[in-house]
Amino acid sequence: MADELRRGVTSLFHDQITAGHPGIAKTLQLLMPYYWWPNMKTFVTEYICSCATCQMNKVNIHPTHPLLSPIMPEENARPFETITMDFIMKLPPSGEYDTILMITDMDCSKASIFLPCKEAIDSEGVAQLYMTHVLPHYGIPKKIILDQDPRFTS
């Protein structure tokens, strides 16, 4: 009976549309001028932690990250068979270019090719640069490792 009353009172100060699902401290601050019971803070904390609306809208401060898997070189790999691509951006303009596309061989030589481009380049532009400057010398790579840059995901 007492828990039902406590739950009802806490609901009035936490769940109602006008309350807006405040956090633990704010709910306690709203409750304390009008109500008190033993272990009130523990009860309110457990109530809010079990509130489905709060759990759905809460920002995850401990997100789970995927496990890192090292990029291991393959045996008898040819140059530029596994490559990474990334941009060096926010450079001072040089002629019409302000960004560098960096293509790095990951297996064989660890060599890099640096190609000037514009920051506004898209995925088609990257493909064109690769076809013009790298493909004639090394062919099509077996694996391309990219970050989440919008130019690669577009």
Find, among 93, 140, 139, 86, the residue nearest to 113 by Cα. Answer: 86
Q: Are residues 145 and 87 in the same domain?
A: yes
Task: State residue 103's pLDDT score.
Answer: 95
Q: Are residues 93 and 42 in the same domain?
A: no
Q: Are residues 51 and 87 in the same domain?
A: no
For residue 77, being part of any structural domain is answered with no
Task: State residue 141's pLDDT score.
Answer: 92
Beta strands per DSSP E along 52-149:
82-88, 99-105, 112-117, 143-145
Token duo for residue 148: 């989440």
3-state secondary structure string across 38-57: CCHHHHHHHHHHCCHHHHHH
pLDDT in tens, 14-38: 888 777 888 889 999 989 999 999 9
For residue 71, being part of any structural domain is answered with no
What domain range is 107 assigned to?
Answer: 82-153
Average of pLDDT values for 103-121? 92
pLDDT in tens, 117-140: 999 998 899 999 999 999 999 999
Task: State residue 118's pLDDT score.
Answer: 93
When pLDDT is cut at 50, 70 and 90, the band that residue 59 belongs to is confident
Token duo for residue 5: 């009353």
For residue 62, being part of any structural domain is answered with no
Is the per-residue pLDDT at 68 higher than 90?
Answer: no
When pLDDT is cut at 50, 70 and 90, the band that residue 56 belongs to is confident
Is the per-residue pLDDT at 78 higher than 80?
Answer: yes
Number of structural domains, the chain?
2
Q: What are phi and psi of 123, to 5 degrees?
A: -65, -35
Percent of residues, the chain, with pLDDT higher than 70: 98
Is the per-residue pLDDT at 154 higher than 70?
Answer: no
